[in-house]
Structure 1
Amino acid sequence: MLSPDSTERSRDLDRLLTFVDAAVAIALTLLVLPLVDLAGEIDSGDSVWQVVRDHAGRFGAFALSFVVIARLWRAQHRIVRGAVEDRVDLFWFLIAWTLTIVFLPFPTALLSATGDQVATKIFYIGSLLVSSVLLALLAAAVRRQRPPGAPHRPSVLPAAVDAVVDGVALLLSVLVPALSYFPLLLLVLGGQATTLIRRRWPNVEH
């Protein structure tokens, strides 16, 4: 049973997680604003489908970033399920991770117009890389609160693998411009890589 101090810390953690969830929701909402502005520029005689085709880059950037943020939030949600105390390290890892999510609408807005520029790739994929690194650190912080064998003790491995994949995707995107942002599809293989590592080194997370 938790002590009174632990109960208070748990309430503080609930408030922190509520704040983080709200910030993520706002970031997701901001992604659609460029599309809302585009809708305001359409005249009554314009073909909506033609406008969509002409600005396919904006719609693609919105869809990509929406999926990316949702995926990162889901990973964060799984990690913090085992958190029981609002410790300093956990607080700052969560705040820093939230910063990467809130920042993401900026490079998303750049994608359709300046997506080929190295700076845009660094801002976009670099944000994902930093976010994954922070998730790995967050998982390590939560693991310190949970004894071995305890339920909801998170694994550092998935976020660490994603960080490596993000780093590789960034290098490929910058060094081979023709690949554009397709190297991010390597993230689909992240789960398989994690499974293979666990099979090859079953004690890696103990």
Structure 2
Amino acid sequence: MVSPDSIERSRDLDRLLTFVDAAVAIALTLLVLPLVDLAGELESGDAVWQVVREHAGRFAAFALSFVVIARLWRAQHQIVRGAVDDRVDLFWCLLAWALTIVFLPFPTALLAATGDQVATKILYIGALLVSSALLALLAAAVRRQRPPGSPLRPSVIPAAVDAVVDGVALLLSVLVPALSYLPLLLLVVGGHASTRILRRWPRLDH
């Protein structure tokens, strides 16, 4: 008898995941374009380190968004390990999630010049919130393809906790402007919180 955990995923799902991975790679590449444009504006007599210091905000925005997108992709990668078929719910969750990732280079480009504006904070942190919420829905969709107790059955809790943390970070960033984007560091705490929740209340994952 074939074990449920030995079932191979469909070729259509493989193609979908390859498409999503390509979209993430393109989004990561787009993040660096403002820095490439900056390098193109340099003249032979310009001091490179001075330009880097003057545009530190652009470099910080690039680094932040690169880490954020990589973190979200890793979470998505872990969730879809147990996916078997590209059913309707999983298909649309993945495409919607990819949309949030492809959108992120836009608010990232706004960070250096208009990062203190409420609209920029809503666009940037709001995109992270929606992305995490979609990962939670994606985990729920994959869970329906695996039986209880399967090691390939993902938990909804980590992504759900991240979505809550993103919501709190957005509120703090908007209501206390001096904090800027520092509330996003709460995501580190959110990761530990997810682990503790799963250890203390394992039934929540069934």
- Pick the TM interval, shorter chain: over 0.9
Q: Distance in 1 between matches of 2:197 and 2:85?
A: 30
1:87 has 2:87 as partner: yes
Residue of structure 2 in register with 1:56 after alignment: 56
Q: How far apart are residue 159 of structure 1 and its match? A: 0.2
Q: How far apart are residue 195 of structure 1 and its match? A: 1.9
Residue of structure 1 in register with 2:36 after alignment: 36
Residue of structure 1 in register with 2:15 after alignment: 15
Residue of structure 2 in register with 1:157 after alignment: 157
Residue of structure 1 in register with 2:167 after alignment: 167
Q: Distance in 1 between matches of 2:47 and 2:56?
A: 14
User: Which 5+ residue runs of structure 1 have no aligned equivalent?
Assistant: none
Q: Distance in 2 between matches of 1:24 and 1:172?
A: 28
Q: Distance in 1 between matches of 2:126 and 2:107?
A: 10
Percent of pairs identical after alignment?
85
Q: Deviations over 1:38-69 (max 9, x none)?
A: 00011110100000000000000000000000
Residue of structure 1 in register with 2:107 after alignment: 107
For 1:67, give the aligned amino acid. Answer: V
1:199 has 2:199 as partner: yes
Structure 1 stretches of 4+ with a deviation exceeding 3 A read: none
Residue of structure 2 in register with 1:182 after alignment: 182
Q: Distance in 2 between matches of 1:99 and 1:199?
A: 33
Q: Distance in 1 between matches of 2:140 and 2:98?
A: 17
Q: How far apart are residue 199 of structure 1 and its match? A: 2.9
Match of 1:203, SS?
helix
Q: How far apart are residue 198 of structure 1 and its match? A: 1.9
1:119 has 2:122 as partner: no
User: Which 5+ residue runs of structure 2 have no aligned equivalent?
Assistant: none
Q: Distance in 2 between matches of 1:178 and 1:184?
A: 14
Q: Distance in 1 between matches of 2:94 and 2:28?
A: 17
Q: How far apart are residue 163 of structure 1 and its match? A: 0.3
Residue of structure 2 in register with 1:141 after alignment: 141
For 1:179, give the aligned amino acid. Answer: L
For 1:54, give the aligned amino acid. Answer: E
Q: Deviations over 1:151-200 (max 9, x none)?
A: 21100000000000000000000000000000000001112101221233
For 1:66, give the aligned amino acid. Answer: F
Q: How far apart are residue 201 of structure 1 and its match? A: 1.5
TM-score by length of 1: 0.95
Q: How far apart are residue 202 of structure 1 and its match? A: 2.2
Q: Deviations over 1:109-136 (max 9, x none)?
A: 0000000000000000000000000000
Q: Distance in 2 between matches of 1:203 and 1:90?
A: 24
Q: Distance in 2 between matches of 1:83 and 1:199?
A: 24
